[in-house]
């Protein structure tokens, strides 16, 4: 399976701290995308990183990709209570289909 696997499964931090979430996968990929989901609602697209990229930034988000280790990380800096959500990584492989990891539950305490 080329499924992405996030870790940790759950993360609890204080507001203002940084949150780091990791994703590992098993096969070659075209790109990797991170999503946020609040309370079982729709998925919000956060960022896409292509297989030939190593790092991307978007506001308080920083994503890295290490294709040699088949892993990616999502860093949220200066976290806020509104960042409380589930975060998913999803990989696109040679078949162009999106395969999701199990997700990470992030709780940011005010």
Partner 1 sequence: SAVISQKPSRDICQRGTSLTIQCQVDSQVTMMFWYRQQPGQSLTLIATANQGSEATYESGFVIDKFPISRPNLTFSTLTVSNMSPEDSSIYLCSVATGTGGYNEQFFGPGTRLTVL
- Which of 18, 28, 30, 58 contacts partner 1 by CB under 8 A? 30
Q: Exposed, middle or buried: residue 23 (CB in 10 Å: 0-12, 13-18, 19+)?
A: buried
- Tell me: does residue 36 bind partner 1 (CB under 8 A): no
Q: Exposed, middle or buried: residue 69 (CB in 10 Å: 0-12, 13-18, 19+)?
A: exposed
Smallest gap, in angstroms, from Cβ of residue 3 to partner 1? 8
- Give the contact letters, 40-69, x = binds to partner 1 (CB under 8 A), - = no: xxxxxx--x-x-------------------
Closer by beta carbon to partner 1, 9 or else 18? 9
Smallest gap, in angstroms, from Cβ of residue 51 to partner 1? 9
Q: Which are the contacts of 100, defined by CB distance < 8 A and separation ≥ 6? A: 3, 4, 88, 89, 90
Please report, as ranges, the residues that interact with partner 1 according to CB under 8 A: 30-31, 33, 35, 40-45, 48, 50, 88, 90, 92-103
């Amino acid at each position: 399976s080329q499924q992405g696997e996030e870790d940790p499964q759950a993360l609890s931090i204080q507001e203002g701290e940084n949150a780091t979430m990791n994703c590992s996968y098993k096969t070659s990929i075209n790109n990797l995308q991170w999503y946020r989901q609040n309370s079982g609602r729709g998925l919000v697209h956060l960022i896409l990183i292509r297989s030939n990229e190593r790092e991307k930034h978007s506001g308080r988000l920083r994503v890295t990709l290490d294709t040699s280790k088949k892993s990616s990380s999502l860093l949220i800096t200066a976290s806020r209570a509104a960042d409380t959500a589930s975060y998913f990584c999803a990989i696109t492989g040679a078949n162009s289909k999106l395969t999701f990891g199990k997700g990470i539950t992030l709780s940011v305490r005010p």
